[in-house]
Structure formats: C-alpha cells, structure tokens
C-alpha cells in the first residue's frame, strides 16, 4: 500500500457482492480495499479503524442501514466520501443516503470501468450523479419536495448570474461537466469554474446536493 492509493471500504450484507467488488478493485492499480463490513454498525466501526478514503455503501442492511451509517460516519469523518450502491427498487433509501451526505450513487450492476472512474471522481472531490438514475430517484422523492423557496434561498438564487443559473438547471438535470460544456459551447475548465461558484453561492457541498436543491426549489420540474 502506498500513500497515493485510494483506500476503499466495502459495505454490503451480501458476501458475494463484496467478493465481486474486492476481486475487481484488488486488480486495479491505485486502489486498495482496506476492509469490509456486512452492516451499517460494523461500517461505522470499520471507518473509525481503517480511515478509508471512499466507502462503497449498500443502503438496505440488517441492524443499522446505510443511511444511518452514512450520517454517522460523515459526522465523525467529513472528508470520507461515500458512494451509495443501489438498485431501482431502493430509490427512497438511496435518496435518504444522499441527503445524509453521500457523494453519489451507483447501480450494483455498474460496469467495472465506471465504478473505478466513480471512485476516482469522488476521491478527487467531485460527485457521481447518473442522469438516468437521478430522474428515477427524484420521481420517487418528488412528493416530499416542497418546491417553495425561503427568503434566503431566493436571495441566493438572485445572486447567480444568468449563466450560473443556466448551469444550475443543467446540474439539476444530472448533466456532467462535459455535457454542460457541449450544450453551452463552453470549455470544461470554464464549466468547472461556474459549477464551483454555483455551489459556493448556494452553500452546497457537492453536485448531489445541487441536484436535490434544484428540485426542492422548483428550478427543475418533477
């Protein structure tokens, strides 16, 4: 293990799932699996002991679920990045984990190269938001999103430039920086700078927060 390697903790109550992820990640240069846990309670303890950079977190587990585990881990170790593992029938659970501070979500049948790219992305401080899962997640959560803006939120939105508001809408739709750059005919670096300003002005932690907030504020339709 070297200081440059990304330390990953696997959390899933199915041993076969953990085995599959470990087999794949152990063969990936630059990533090392430092441990496993089969429920949320053990995940909290493992995160304290092993200091992982990234946690692959299942949401529905016995004892403590992935939502509560994510909340507790990030309260103690806010720099740890949590990637939620989900299937289409677990949307409400995944949404709860994102609200607890997870950096993104993936389907369990994600291709190996996509998983590796996601781990590198969240480790670098980005968030992983798949547009096709985002739409399904938000559809499930829509009844719980009020779409009303507080005075502070209205003022924050008012501080966005026209371009920043345009980019905020596209983030809310789950677009990547590359897709936004193509749509608006901008460079990737320009989009990245705009995204950073949007997150700062709206006091959002990451792109996942931005997606959720866009729906909460009614900037993106349900």
Q: Of 128, 161, 188, which marks where a domain is finished?
A: 128
The verdict on residue 208 lying in a domain is yes
Co-location of 97 and 166 in the same domain? no
Co-location of 204 and 150 in the same domain? yes
Looking at residue 26, which CATH number applies to its domain? 3.40.50.2300
Per-residue pLDDT of the chain (222 residues; tens, 9 = 90+): 566 899 999 999 999 999 999 999 999 999 999 999 999 999 999 999 999 999 999 888 888 888 899 999 999 998 999 998 877 555 566 667 777 888 888 878 888 888 998 899 888 877 776 655 665 655 655 555 555 555 666 777 888 999 999 999 998 887 778 888 999 999 989 998 999 999 999 888 777 778 778 877 878 765
Co-location of 26 and 111 in the same domain? yes
> From residue 160, how far is each of 166, 201, 207 by CA, in Å?
9, 7, 16
Co-location of 151 and 113 in the same domain? no
The verdict on residue 189 lying in a domain is yes
The verdict on residue 134 lying in a domain is no
- The pair phi, psi for residue 98, each rounded to 5°, is -65, -40
Co-location of 71 and 178 in the same domain? no
CB atoms within 10 A of CB 46: 21
Three-state DSSP state, 83: strand
The verdict on residue 100 lying in a domain is yes
The verdict on residue 139 lying in a domain is no
84 beta partners: 57, 105
Looking at residue 193, which CATH number applies to its domain? 1.10.10.10
Q: How many domains does the chain have?
A: 2
């Amino acid at each position: 293990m070297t200081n440059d390697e990304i330390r990953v903790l696997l959390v899933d109550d199915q041993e076969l799932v953990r085995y599959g992820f470990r087999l794949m990640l152990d063969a990936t240069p630059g990533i090392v699996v430092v441990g496993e846990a089969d429920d949320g309670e053990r995940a909290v303890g493992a995160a304290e002991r092993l200091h992982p950079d990234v946690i692959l977190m299942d949401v529905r587990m016995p004892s403590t679920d992935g939502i509560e585990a994510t909340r507790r881990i990030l309260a103690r170790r806010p720099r740890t990045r949590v990637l939620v593992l989900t299937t289409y029938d677990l949307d409400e659970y995944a949404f709860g984990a994102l609200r607890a501070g997870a950096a993104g979500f993936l389907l369990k049948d994600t291709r190996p190269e996509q998983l590796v790219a996601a781990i590198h992305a969240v480790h670098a401080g980005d968030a992983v938001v798949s547009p096709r899962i985002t739409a399904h997640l938000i559809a499930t959560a829509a009844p719980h999103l009020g779409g009303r803006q507080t005075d502070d939120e209205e003022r924050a939105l008012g501080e966005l430039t026209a371009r920043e508001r345009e980019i905020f809408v596209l983030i809310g739709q789950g677009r990547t920086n590359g897709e936004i750059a193509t749509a608006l005919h901008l460079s990737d670096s320009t989009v990245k700078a705009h995204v950073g300003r949007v997150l700062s002005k709206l006091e959002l932690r990451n792109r996942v927060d931005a997606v959720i907030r866009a729906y909460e504020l009614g900037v993106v339709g349900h």
